[in-house]
Amino acid sequence: MLPKAANARVVIAIPNPANAEDTIRRTATPDANGYYKLTDIPSGFHRLIFLPGNKAYKSKPQRVAVEAGQTLNLGTVTLESR
């Protein structure tokens, strides 16, 4: 869950096995309650980036381990003020 005031979106950077320099990006926008969902993410370690639309907050990268067929709940994500 992300704070509503941050007006954030979530981007996941997934390494592209066809080209080590490229990443596949998927984006999710939190709903009115701050919840977001990214689906069909391949297994492995990935970098999530929380990008606030409100400039009063800093972006926040986070490394996550994804396992096939499982749901990963990151709980409440706190974004720092600038």
Walk along the chain (82 residues) and give the pLDDT tens digit of each residue. 666 777 778 887 777 667 766 677 888 888 888 888 888 888 888 888 888 888 888 998 888 898 988 888 888 888 888 8
Residue 64 Cα distances to 12, 14, 43, 45, 81, angstroms: 10, 11, 10, 6, 23
Question: Would you state the pLDDT for residue 20?
Answer: 67
Question: Would you state the pLDDT for residue 41?
Answer: 86
Is residue 38 in a domain?
yes
Is residue 37 in a domain?
yes
Total of domains in the chain: 1
Is residue 22 in a domain?
yes
Where in the sequence is the domain holding 19, given as residue range(s)? Answer: 4-66
Strand-pairing partners, residue 80, are none
Is residue 82 in a domain?
no
Is residue 33 in a domain?
yes
Is residue 79 in a domain?
no
Is residue 74 in a domain?
no
Question: Would you state the pLDDT for residue 9?
Answer: 80
Question: Would you state the pLDDT for residue 12?
Answer: 79
Is residue 78 in a domain?
no
Share of the chain above pLDDT 70, in %: 90
By the 8 A CB rule, do 70 and 40 touch?
A: no
By the 8 A CB rule, do 48 and 26 touch?
A: no
Q: Structure pTM?
A: 0.73
